[in-house]
Amino acid sequence: MKYDVAHRRIWLKGEILDVNDAKVNVLSPTSQFGLNVFEGIPCYWNEETNQLYAFRLSDHYDRLIRSAKLIQFDLKYTKDDFKKALVDTVKANEYDENLSVRQTLFVDGFGSWGSEGPVEMFVAPIPRGRTSAEYNKKGLNCCVTSWRRISDENLSPRIKCGANYINSRVGQREALRNGYDTCIFLNEVGKVAEGPGSCFFMVKGDTLVTPRLTDSVLESITRDTIICLAKEELGLKVEERTIDRTELYLADEAFLCGSAMEITPIYTIDRYEVDSGEQGEITKRLHLTYLDCVRGKLANRMDWLTPIY
């Protein structure tokens, strides 16, 4: 049977439970200090093959392991264990729609922020319907937030840990307070970094430009996917380079991207219109190609897909 969202099945410490029974102690370091690392793994339903595909699962797990290493978690799980937990959880819910699967390693117990463990895991699917991915979705009005992105010298954005999202939060809250949809962060040296939960791309002429991985950004899997698809499927030039703030205002097209938001066009930045204030041609072509890719419709990209059923 398929469970309703309020009773969906969650994997916690080796057991599959009703979400209401999946409990974590309030004094645990994950609860008190955001001491966890996690992934949001997109899964797409393909109606033609009646199959659910996890997108770039192995790459998500590699990043999870890198995050765990940097934050010094001892792992009792292997990549195979990660995968089995995800597959078992999705199957337990019998999902036949798009999902974002939250897979989190966290420090449980009664310790402090310096605790070594115990490191535990949960897997929680977030159902997203079958049609989350339309390509002419509304664009974003962004500001450049006055907060700076965290840097590798204090709390590295390379680590996908819960605590990092408090930096995202202050930028996002400022944007909403001031009437924008979201924000773009500059890094500590004042160059463009990323969105609060997304990477930034702009189009200049026939070139796609995005900040370097050393400009204070998460090593985004969508970013990497877009770079590959742009070069290999669409024949575009791609530059990974430092971007000045004023370049934002002169972009021909711009978008934010991530596993959850896919490719979402930006209409304005600090009220400067980007292009004509609509979704640009290159952004649209990239988004369509991206959707074909994640749904298993690009024959030469099937190695990025893991069938669940």
Rank residues 45 and 201 by Cβ distance to ligand PMP and give the closer one.
201
Q: Measured from the CB of residue 220, what is the shortest distance to ligand PMP in angstroms?
A: 3
Instruction: Please confirm, yes or no, whether 160 is among the known catalytic residues.
Output: yes
Minimum separation from the CB atom of position 263 to ligand PMP (A) = 10
Interface residue with ligand PMP among 181, 194, 253, 262 (CB under 6 A) is 194
Q: For 164-280, where are the alpha helices, taking DSSP H only?
A: 165-177, 221-232, 245-249
Find residue 154's DSSP bridge partners. Answer: none
Q: Rounded to an integer, what is the distance from CA 213 to the centroid of its chain? A: 15
Q: Please list, in sequence order, all residues whose beta carbon lies within 8 angstroms of the beta carbon of residue 189, skipping any fewer than 6 positions away.
A: none
Which one of 198, 210, 264, 279 is in contact with ligand PMP (CB under 6 A)? 198
Strands 9-12 and 36-46 come out as unpaired
241 within 8 A of 209, measured Cβ to Cβ: yes
Question: Is 220 near ligand PMP (CB under 6 A)?
Answer: yes
**Are 143 and 180 a contacting pair, CB within 8 Å?**
yes
# chain residues binding ligand PMP, by CB under 6 A: 13
Question: Can you say how many angstroms the Cα of residue 31 is from the centroid of all Cα atoms in its chain?
Answer: 22
108 versus 222: smaller Cβ distance to ligand PMP: 222
The residue from 159, 175, 218, 254 that contacts ligand PMP (CB under 6 A) is 218
57 near ligand PMP, judged by CB under 6 A: no
Q: Which stretch binds ligand PMP (CB under 6 A): 13-21, 67-75, 218-226, 301-309?
A: 218-226
Q: Is 85 helix (H, G, I), strand (E, B) or coil?
A: helix
In sequence order, the 6+-apart residues with CB closer than 8 A to the CB of 3 are: 9, 18, 93
Q: Is 259 in the site for ligand PMP (CB under 6 A)?
A: yes
Catalytic residue among 160, 191, 204, 237: 160
Could you say which of 258, 265, 280, 296 contacts ligand PMP (CB under 6 A)?
258
Q: How far apart are CA 65 and CA 78, in angstroms?
A: 9
Residue 199 touching ligand PMP (CB under 6 A): yes
Contact 46, 295 (CB under 8 A): yes
* Cβ-contact 167, 147 below 8 angstroms: yes
Shortest CB 298 distance to ligand PMP, Å = 18
Binding mask 155-174 for ligand PMP (x = CB under 6 A): -------------x------
232 token code pair: 């290999």
Nearer to ligand PMP, 197 or 280 (CB): 197
Binding stretches for ligand PMP (CB under 6 A) = 40, 168, 194, 197-199, 218, 220-223, 258-259
- Mind telling me the catalytic residues? 160
